[in-house]
Structure 1
Amino acid sequence: MHAKPLLTALLLPALLLCACDRESRDAAPSTTASGITVAPDEARKIAREAYIYGVPMVDQYRAVHIYSLEPNNPQYRGPMNTLVSNDRLFTPDDTAVVTPNADTPYTLANLDLRAEPMVLGVPKVDSKRYYVFQLMDLYTFNFDYIGSRATGSDAGHYLIAGPEWEGPTPPNIDKVIRAETPLVTLVGRTQLFGPDDMENVRKIQAGYTLQPLSAFAGTAAPPAPPKVDWIAPLSPKDARTSPEFFNQLAFLLQFAPVHPSEQHVRDRFAQIGIVPGRRIDLSALSPELRQALVDGMVDGQKLIDTRRNALTNRTDTLFGTREELNNDYIARATATQVGLGGNSRVEAIYRTYQMDTNDELLDGSRRYVLRFAKDKLPPVNAFWSVTAYRMPEQLLVKNPIDRYLINSPMLSSLKTDPDGSLTLYIQKESPGKALESNWLPVPEGPFMLTARYYWPKRELLEYEWSSPAVERVR
């Protein structure tokens, strides 16, 4: 029997695992409502729909809260509208982030665009070095990109505006990017060529700037937006089991203007009391109605799990714009649970390996190879990599040569086979000095591999090229 696919955690999924169970300590919205206007059977159906719709928003909010609204949290990175970079290499000792990306150190900001737009400035980046800024709204749509593929390698300034902004565009703005929600997450990635390249990455990260439009244009700042009493996020467990989920969703909907294609969806949610900025008085519900809400969550999770189990190792169609996902709410929820913050397929495609060609779980007690045929390396415009993680922790593997991945920038130092193919040796012990350049160390026990393909070419996007399988050799 195949194990359920374990998809790549890119940046934010770690927060979903680290948040602890706790009572809400923030003040809830003052308006309460207990008005469910439908019978329990119908309430259960609507709750199922609302759960699937709301999973991405509730999980995204948890990440935003931990990173930018919760100063006492160990993972706090700074207040809203602040750009923070991870300017060092991940190591096996980093336990707060699962499946850490050792290719592209991150730059992160959570934006609150209610008062005015923010302007992201980027320096000129060598065209041989890949970089990208992913813009994700509260729905978790990847609504735009800035970087090597999307905007090129030249320096520029990009105005990121919320849905209500109508001001003039000042000079020296290269592009105006409009978000559907006033809350936006900005995730930057800058290619690292190797451990000795970190200082160069830091210099590039230092050139990334983020400032309010008024500061950029030298004009008076607008009035501050209304103060928000940010509620505490639900723990991962409660977000799947507690009807308080629907109050969290209602809180977030006040920051999510209704899209024309979803008015009927919002009207339906209102039938079980999910109204933007209001709370359902759960204590006032009959036991039958309260149970209907819980059962609806269970039903919704089953649909998400069914979609997830059908994915095998391809998740690239789960991430994208609203237009690309076409209101496929199950796809959006599934994407959140397998890798919140995943890139759109035009930017990066990921393949995760847990099984070998014998349909057995990967284990360091055995030896494996990953073989790319001659002229069949991953077709990418930027670069590719293969990283090993020990399981079940999903952390980097401590090893005697401090090598956590093999990637395309290392090709000049890798040895090819007599027939021109490239073989990577996936094993715990060295394959010998002659082959050590191609060795990717793994732990003694269970492990997984993640292949990352940045800026994929047409052959990858159209499924003309497929990732090779991991072959067991002993």
Structure 2
Amino acid sequence: MTTTSPSTDDVEQAAARLQIWGFPLVFAQRVRLNFTQPAAPAAPRPPTSAGAAVGTFGHQRELSSPELRVGVAPNVDTLYSVAWIDLDAGPRRLVMPDLGDRYYSVQVALADASSPWALGRRTHGGQLPPVTLRRGPLARREGDDGVELTTPHRFLMLCVRILVEPGDPSDLERVHALQGAIALTDLAGVDGRVSSTGQRDIALAAVDRAAETVEPSAFGRAISAVVADTDPGSVPAIVRTDLVTCEQGRDAAVVAGLRSGLARIDAHVRTMGETVNGWAVNWRGPDFGDDVLLRAAVAYSQIFVNPAVEAVYPVCETDADGAPLDASSADYEIVLDGADLPPVRSFWSLTMYHAAGLLVANDAARYSIGDRTPGLRRSDDGSIVVHLSSSRPSHAGTNWLPAPDGPFRLMLRLYGPTDDSWRPPPVRRLTRDR
């Protein structure tokens, strides 16, 4: 019996579909590998890292800086405590300390880059009850003994964010004490540490991230791993069919399809949600439903965002005239109307990034401006004017947010948004004063 090889078009289309479905899972897997370092899980991490071995919490001890290069678009408002959990090792239980009036959240993120739950001050006040984590159909239950969450994925991430008071170095020590009181155990109360996830993950971690997106064998190994770690009922049949089609096709057609899928994801980043005043605003957050292209686009631009009820992250890459933001050729400003400031229960911040999503090194060591920024200046009418430039402005008394000498993007974080009709103001290009 002879079999017919798939056509070039069929292979390209299959590879493009696999890229769109698989990109967030492969990227999430890469983030997990970067955090857990399977070849050396106990190796020391820098104080800006929240990395640790699988099954235990790593605690970020200093606020994020330009040296942090894990993930995309880190915040500089909170300290992260992160744990990647392997539920094949059994259920786990999270116990949090009482955080009183301080803002905190516990984001539960899954291996498909979704974040179905964010618990914390918004949901339970200062004291979160015990949270039990199991493998099973996606579900949340709550009772007298706490919260129980189940997921069809082998791996999940717990990301705890604890607010740090800006300009108060002693507050870091208080947050460190709170981090130290976070407990992750099995159901008997025993430390849930898992030292290694095996040779497969060591081999995956050794592969260049870029190769996983366009090189057929690397992509194939990566996506096969995430499929193996997901309950079969949660993997669409077309994914398994497309995997077979790509295995039977020529590498050139697979590469073309992977690049096509990646281009579609990149294009959708600029149109997901709605675009207003140059800002892309996604009020759905990680509520993707069956929209796999939206899921891929969110992972591409800001993987592991919180549910929108917890935080919303408008992103701006163009000025008021639609031109790309580029501080090598212009300065900019954004004016937040005093009568129409970002509507939040908790706080807001505006963060500067390189086009690739990394923080921008600068002599002022300032990476964001927000309602908690020490010395924030307001105009007589209560408005806040933020100057964006690669060089310090010549006039004093400016709310300066340093930009790179080149392309950049902005992210506005709204923690506890209260009005989904609010839209950020445009970023306006200025005549340089130097």
1:181 and 2:142 equivalent? no
Q: Which residue of 1 aligns with 2:129?
A: 156
Q: Which residue of 2 aligns with 1:243?
A: 216
Q: Quote how far apart the aligned CAs of 1:406 are.
A: 1.9
1:38-437 to structure 2, matched below 5 A, reads 38-68=6-36, 69-71=38-40, 77-92=51-66, 94=67, 96-97=69-70, 99-127=73-101, 129-163=102-136, 173-196=145-168, 197-215=171-189, 229-230=200-201, 231-233=203-205, 234-244=207-217, 245-259=219-233, 263-269=236-242, 271-272=244-245, 289-311=250-272, 312=275, 313-314=279-280, 316=282, 319-320=285-286, 324-360=287-323, 361-363=325-327, 366-389=330-353, 394-400=358-364, 402-410=365-373, 413-427=375-389, 428-430=391-393, 432-433=395-396, 435-436=397-398
Q: Secondary structure at the match of 2:107?
A: strand
| Deviations 1:152-194 (CA, angstroms, capped at 9, x unpaired) | 322421111112899xx99973110111212111122111221
Give TM-score, length-normalised by structure 1. Answer: 0.75
**Structure 1 portions without partners, runs of 5+:** 1-34, 274-279
Q: Secondary structure at the match of 1:156?
A: coil
Q: What RMSD, in angstroms, separates the aligned Cα atoms of the two structures?
A: 3.5
Higher gyration radius (CA): 1
Give TM-score, length-normalised by structure 2. Answer: 0.81
The structure showing larger relative contact order (alpha-carbon pairs under 8 Å, at least 6 residues apart) is 1
Distance change >3 Å, CA 318–CA 272, structure 1 → 2: farther
Q: Quote how far apart the aligned CAs of 1:204 are.
A: 1.9
**Structure 2 portions without partners, runs of 5+:** none
- Alpha-carbon distance between aligned partners in 2 of 1:470 and 1:424, rounded to the nearest angstrom: 10
Q: Secondary structure at the match of 2:259?
A: helix
Q: Is the 8 A contact 2:107 2:117 kept in 1?
A: yes
Q: Quote how far apart the aligned CAs of 1:209 are.
A: 1.5
Identity %: 23
Amino acid at match of 1:295: A
- Alpha-carbon distance between aligned partners in 2 of 1:46 and 1:201, rounded to the nearest angstrom: 48
Distance change >3 Å, CA 468–CA 79, structure 1 → 2: same
- Alpha-carbon distance between aligned partners in 1 of 2:25 and 2:164, rounded to the nearest angstrom: 31
Q: Secondary structure at the match of 1:70?
A: coil
- Alpha-carbon distance between aligned partners in 1 of 2:241 and 2:33, rounded to the nearest angstrom: 28
Amino acid at match of 1:310: T
- Alpha-carbon distance between aligned partners in 1 of 2:11 and 2:355, rounded to the nearest angstrom: 40
Q: Quote how far apart the aligned CAs of 1:392 are.
A: 6.7
Q: Is the 8 A contact 2:331 2:429 kept in 1?
A: yes
Higher strand share: 2
| Deviations 1:15-51 (CA, angstroms, capped at 9, x unpaired) | xxxxxxxxxxxxxxxxxxxx99755543433332222
Q: Secondary structure at the match of 2:314?
A: strand
- Alpha-carbon distance between aligned partners in 1 of 2:146 and 2:31, rounded to the nearest angstrom: 30
Q: Is the 8 A contact 2:334 2:385 kept in 1?
A: yes
Q: Quote how far apart the aligned CAs of 1:267 are.
A: 5.0
Q: Which residue of 2 aligns with 1:454?
A: 415
Q: Secondary structure at the match of 1:382?
A: strand
- Alpha-carbon distance between aligned partners in 2 of 1:364 and 1:212, rounded to the nearest angstrom: 53
Q: Is the 8 A contact 2:120 2:128 kept in 1?
A: no
Q: Which residue of 1 aligns with 2:425?
A: 468
Distance change >3 Å, CA 229–CA 416, structure 1 → 2: closer
Q: Is the 8 A contact 1:318 1:332 kept in 2?
A: no
Q: Secondary structure at the match of 1:396?
A: coil
Aligned residues: 408
Distance change >3 Å, CA 301–CA 369, structure 1 → 2: closer
Q: Secondary structure at the match of 1:102?
A: coil
Amino acid at match of 2:370: N
